[in-house]
Amino acid sequence: QVQIVESGGGLVQPGGSLRLSCTASGSTFRFYNLGWYRQVPGKQRELVAAISSGSSAIYADSVKGRFTISRDNAKSTVYLQMNNLKPEDTALYYCNMRWGLDDYWGQGTQVTVST
């Protein structure tokens, strides 16, 4: 069983930046496809960004040019650098790891963008 720990959320003003981190246990991190999702109350969870085991990345249209996903396999960590944050980015952000039948989720970290 993979354990996932997320960190880096918080309160930030519009235009500000945050970096989310997601660190996993185990020695097979490099094989996993990784993703960051977000969810607001009353809405479905949505994909924000994902990075494959080969480090190919995709982004939701709403965050292109502002967010960057990256991975450090040596540290078993995936990052989400979020710049120029907007109030509509406010959500609970989740880390996801997938490989074959394995599908793991973190507990979520809250990001609030507000004055």
- Give the pLDDT band (50/70/90) at residue 17: very high
pLDDT averaged over the chain? 96
* Comparison of pLDDT for 1 and 63, the residue scoring more: 63
Region 80-97: mean pLDDT is: 98
Which residue is associated with the tokens 């109350």? Answer: 41
